[in-house]
Every structure is written in structure tokens, then in C-alpha cells.
Amino acid sequence: MKTEAERSRRPLNDFQRVAADSYAGGEYAYVNSVEDSATMGDTFFTSGISDLDDAESWDQAAERVSQSIRDLEQVLDGLHAKGAEAA
């Protein structure tokens, strides 16, 4: 018999399932619920799953991931710039 916590878990949607199966070489493929994704200790994974929570199409899901990548590239550029200043 399932506990109340197990019954209240929201299963990953199709977009989140692809993300979980693909992220970090499939390291999180065993994750089956949105709530479980938040306990993995990987904030990028958790954020990605959250971003896909209400996606309505494959194109929209892909655009959300693309935007996250662009945002992280800006962070990376900033880190490189500060690193070059410090050298």
C-alpha cells in the first residue's frame, strides 16, 4: 500500500522524462516524480525539471532548454571575463 507522500507525487511529464533520461548521461533516469527531482542535490537538474513542468509542446520544451543554455553561457562568459581580469 502506498503512503500519502507516494500518492501525492507528480509523475514526470513526457518532456521531463526525456530530460531525466538524457541529463548527465542518464544519471537521473531513475527519477520518476517532480518531487524526487528536487532531492537529487543537483540544482541544474532540478531547475530543468521545473522549467519543463508546464511545457505544452516539444517545441516549447526545447525553447525553454535553449533559453537555459543561453543563460548559462552568459554566466560562463562572465566567469571567463573575471578570470582573465584576475590573471
- Number of independent structural domains in the chain: 1
CA atoms of 73 and 75, how far apart (whole Å): 5
Average pLDDT over residues 49-72: 97
Let me know if residue 64 belongs to a domain.
Answer: yes
Let me know if residue 49 belongs to a domain.
Answer: yes
Segments forming the whole domain that contains residue 20? 7-86
Contact 34, 16 (CB under 8 A): yes
Instruction: Flag whether the pTM goes above 0.75.
Output: yes
Confidence class for position 43, pLDDT limits 50, 70, 90:
very high
Supply the pLDDT for residue 85.
Answer: 87
How many angstroms separate the Cα of 39 from the Cα of each of 15, 34, 67?
Answer: 19, 9, 24
